[in-house]
Amino acid sequence: MTFKDLLPRKEFWKLLKSLESLENPTSLSSFAMAHDTEPAMVKQVVSILQKLNHPLMIDDHHGQHILIPPAHSPGIQFEMSLSEWLALQAMFPAIGTQEGKPHYNLVADKLEHLEAHYPEYDMYRLLEEEEAREGVLGRLGEQAVEMVKKIEDGLSRGLIIELHWGSNKISSLYPHKLVYLEGDLCLVGEDSNDRCLVAFPVQEVESIRFDVTKNYQANFSPIEVDDFILAMRVVSGNEERLVLKLKTASDVDLNPPYHFLGNPYITTNAEGDVIWAASIEVCDDLYAWLHSLGERVEIMDPPQVEKGYKEWLALYQSYKKAS
C-alpha cells in the first residue's frame, strides 16, 4: 500500500498520532493489538515516519520487534505574523469542508488550541461584533442609522457634536458613549456649555454637524461616565442583574453592542458550568441579543427577564410568521 493510499484512511492517522506520542519502548505486536490492527500496518506507518526523518525505530530484541521512541519527539515550529494568522483564519470555512475526513480533527484541534491561546487576535469575534452591531442598526430607522454612524465618527475623532433636533433646537455635546437607556439608544456626553453630563436619544436627532473649532477638554473620566449611566438606570428602575449559564464559553460574544454592562462577572459552578452575570438595561434590543445567542445560553435569573424574553420571542415569531 502506497503513502497516497494511506492518506484517506482513518486508521493511518490514528496510528500516526499514537506512534508520534509514544514515550516508552513498546512491543510492536502489543501496540498493534491495542489499536486493533495488523503489525504489518504498524510497520508501514513507522516506515513513512522514518522517510520523513522521524527517529522512531523498530528494534529486534530476541526475535521480538520493539518500537523504540526517541528521547525527544521532533515538532514543527511554525511562527506567523498577525496578517498571516488572519489569512489562515479566513481559510477556516474552506478547512471546514474537510470535516468527516480522517485528517480533519488533527487540524481542527490544533487551530482551536491556537484560537484559545490568542483570543485577542480572533477575527471571527470581530466579525460577530460587527454583525451584532449591524443587527442593532437594522432595528433602527434609516435616519437613526445615519446619525449613529456620524456620532461614532465624532467619538473616534473626539470632536464636539452639534445635535439638531425639535423645532430648530441645537445641543452641543462632547460625546462619550452610545448606550441604551430607558429602552432608547442614547448618546451620553458633556454639554459643551455647562460641562455637565447628559443623555440624548438618537431617534430625536434630525441632523448632526461637527464643530472643529473647539478644542474641548473632557470634564468627566470614563469611570464617572459609567457612574452616570448606572445612576440613570437606578432612577429609571430598568436595571436587572442578568445571570446566564453558558453551554459553551468559547464562541459566545458577551458584549452586546451599545449596552453598558455593570459589574460583569464570570465563574464556574460545582457542576463545571460557566456562569456569567452583569447588570443590564432591559429592553427589546437586549432580548434580540439573547435570541442571537440561541441555545448556547440559558437565563438563570431573574425570572422577570426570562418571562419578558419569552413574551418578546412569541411576538417576534408571530411577526416573522406573518411576514
User: Which domains does the chain possess?
Assistant: 3-68 (1.10.10), 82-121 (no CATH), 155-234 (2.30.30), 238-322 (3.30.70)
Report which secondary-structure segment, H or E, holds 43. helix 39-51
Count CB atoms within 10 A of the CB of residue 106: 12
Q: Average pLDDT over the chain, rounded to whole?
A: 85
Lowest-pLDDT range of 46-50, 128-132, 235-239? 128-132
Burial of 23 (0-12, 13-18, 19+ CB in 10 A): exposed
pLDDT of residue 4 exceeding 70, the answer is: yes
pLDDT of residue 321 exceeding 60, the answer is: no
Looking at residue 26, its pLDDT comes to 93
Higher pLDDT, 237 or 138: 237
pLDDT of residue 130 exceeding 80, the answer is: no
- Give 112-166 as a DSSP string: HHHHHH-GGG-HHHHHHHHHHHHHHHHTS-HHHHHHHHHHHHHHHHT-EEEEEET
The model's pLDDT over 5-59, given as tens digits with 9 standing for 90+, comes to 899 999 999 999 999 989 999 999 999 999 999 999 999 999 999 998 899 999 9
Higher pLDDT, 143 or 153: 153
Looking at residue 62, its pLDDT comes to 81
State the average pLDDT over residues 172-176.
91
State the average pLDDT over residues 73-79.
82
- Percentage of residues of the chain with pLDDT beyond 70: 93
- Give 243-256 as a DSSP string: EEEES-STT-----
Contact 276, 254 (CB under 8 A): yes
Looking at residue 132, its pLDDT comes to 60
Identity of the amino acid at 43: K
Looking at residue 171, its pLDDT comes to 87
pLDDT of residue 323 exceeding 60, the answer is: no
Closest by Cα among 22, 25, 18, 28 to 65: 28
Burial of 210 (0-12, 13-18, 19+ CB in 10 A): middle
Looking at residue 129, its pLDDT comes to 64
pLDDT of residue 284 exceeding 90, the answer is: no
Give the pLDDT band (50/70/90) at residue 220.
Answer: very high
Listed in sequence order, the residues at least 6 apart from 55 whose beta carbon sits closer than 8 Å to its beta carbon are 70, 74
Looking at residue 270, its pLDDT comes to 79
Identity of the amino acid at 314: A
Looking at residue 15, its pLDDT comes to 93
Looking at residue 257, its pLDDT comes to 79
